[in-house]
Amino acid sequence: MNISTALQALVLVAGAVTVAGVARWRGWPAPLLLVLAGLAGSYVMSTFFPGGPRYVLDPEVVLLVFLPPLLYSAALESSYLRLRDVSRSVGLLSVGLVLFSTAVVAVLLRFMVPDMPLAAAFALGAIVAPPDAVAAVAVARRFGLPRKVITILVGESLFNDATALTAYRVAVAAAAGEGISLLSGSGRFLYAAGAGLLIGYVLAEAFGRLFDRVRDPLVTNTVSLMLPFVSYLAAEAVHASGVLAVVVVGVLLGHRVNRANYGTRLVSYSVWKVLDFFLEIIVFVLIGLQLPLILQGLGGENPWRLAGYGLAVFAAVVAARVIWTAATTFLPRLSRRVRESGPRHSFAHVAVISWAGMRGVVSLAAAFALPDGFPYRNLLLFLTFVVVIGTLLVQGLSFPMLIRRLGITGDQDIYRDNLSEAAAQQAAATAALARLDELTGDGVLETHAEVVDRLRSLAERRAMGAWERLGGGVGMDGEETPSALYRRLRRAMLDAERDVLVRMRDERRIDDEVLRRVTRELDYEEATLARE
């Protein structure tokens, strides 16, 4: 990499971070703002700086560098138990809807462009079929949607790429003349899914046992950073689904995260938050920056015909999701047995899930990965870009308005969380106090009385704080609760301690190393206060 290329990359990162920072400050959806910034940047560069830098989306970089860690991080943060509860809905969306959308787009494209080979039409269908739920989930969490809806969207985004990429590879192979039949294509699909799941399970068990024995936070988190790439490449090496392997490893290791020590968890949380933020902002700004390259490949094509193709495919993708979601939710309920035993979804929940179909960088990467000479490659690339931008802007911008109009919230989930947390804190405090009495009551451990009183007070305050949070830190009489008062006063004391430490460092009375060590202890205490 030369200096010019490095500077271009630095400019891209700096611009993306600035846009994302403004979005977070203003409370706007960062993915949508980044795409718009990319579109604006591509227009400015192509209009005013035709010889300027070009930020080309490399499909191998996306699929090998960006996709594995983003999937792994999302899987770590997901809930194995909640995903199991909504497995039917997730399966219908991540497998059934992807295949249905692929077929709908392929049939439509063959109708509009009769000369296009059927395999090429199916390739486009597989490319634009999987939604990227990053933008949708970010909006859903900001508006406090019910946890069940968010879990379904997260689960879909974790598993649908595996279905789409496998179907995509089958279609590309068929277009290349490998003579793949429906039976052999189905066999490839089942092998890729089954082998990917098996490899993910084996790696999760192996690395889970390794993490149980290695307690060093830096070592375990460094290995964790490599794990998504190891999982992806191990599966891809035997032509299995690398996406499924990564997701399975992340979900299973996330389920057993509490076996790790506290240092590993603290470092892991910070590392993956920063890495997620960095990768996501680069991915979304790169989407918008691809416009000049895509338009350049179209040459002298009729713009009105292209616009018609793009609008038709975009409408088909959106309509396929709405039809599939409504049909698979409401039609089975015509059966009395399903009504009595099956999961229930309200119309509002179905509407939100139906409209959360924003496409992302995986679709563009798959389109760019089409080999040179692939039938109608430039047209497929253009249609993919239209679907990605169209869903991100049309559905993404209207998604918050739909949520507000439907008036659905997760307030009940929040209340149940607070109630169950308070009960859990109470039970944990009771166990802690019982253990304290066991250690100090019979002279097993010689302890000063003030130490015992302080430990007892800490356990009782932690339990009381969870119950007080049910009232938002305000008591029945409207006064500030003791725990809320404690947190406010203690934070003020910590700020005063930091000020003194910084002043002593500036006066050369302590070293920077001492300042960092003591400040880190204060930071841990303040982090504890934020959770209480």
Question: Are 236 and 341 members of one domain?
Answer: yes
Domain CATH for 338: 1.20.1530.20
Question: Are 403 and 474 members of one domain?
Answer: no
pLDDT at 419: 66
pLDDT digits (tens, 9 = 90+) for 91-150: 999 999 999 999 999 999 999 999 999 999 999 999 999 998 676 777 777 777 788 888
Question: Are 379 and 507 members of one domain?
Answer: no
> Residue 296 above 90 pLDDT?
no
Q: Which of 349, 374, 409 is the last residue of a domain?
A: 409
Q: Which residues contact 203 (CB under 8 A, 6 or more apart)?
A: 227, 230, 231, 234, 245, 249
As a whole number, the mean pLDDT across the chain is 84
Q: What is the pTM of this model?
A: 0.84
Tell me how many helices (H) and strands (E) the chain has.
25, 0
Distance CA 79, CA 102 (A): 29
Q: Which residues contact 41 (CB under 8 A, 6 or more apart)?
A: 15, 285, 288, 289
Distance CA 300, CA 402 (A): 39
Give the rounded distance of the alpha carbon of 64 from its chain centre: 17
- What mean pLDDT is predicted for residues 68-75? 92
- What mean pLDDT is predicted for residues 333-352? 71
The torsion of the CA quartet 241, 243, 248, 253, rounded to 10 degrees, works out to 140
Is residue 57 in some structural domain?
no
Question: Are 225 and 281 members of one domain?
Answer: yes
Count of residues for the chain?
532
Question: Are 471 and 527 members of one domain?
Answer: yes
Q: Compute the half-sphere exposure of residue 248: CA atoms within 13 Å on the CB side of its CA.
A: 24
- The residue type at 486: Y
Range of the domain at 85: 3-50+68-409
Question: Are 282 and 156 members of one domain?
Answer: yes
pLDDT at 474: 53
Overall domain count for the chain: 2
Q: Are 217 and 186 in contact (CB under 8 A)?
A: no
Distance CA 148, CA 224 (A): 28
How many CB atoms are located within 10 Å of the residue 219 CB?
A: 13
Question: Are 22 and 132 members of one domain?
Answer: yes
Question: Are 237 and 160 members of one domain?
Answer: yes
Q: Are 481 and 460 in contact (CB under 8 A)?
A: no
Q: Which of 409, 428, 446 is the last residue of a domain?
A: 409
> Residue 513 above 90 pLDDT?
no
pLDDT at 124: 95
DSSP state, 258?
G
Q: What DSSP letter does each residue of 483-511 carry, written as one string?
A: HHHHHHHHHHHHHHHHHHHHHHHHTTSS-
Q: Are 318 and 351 in contact (CB under 8 A)?
A: no
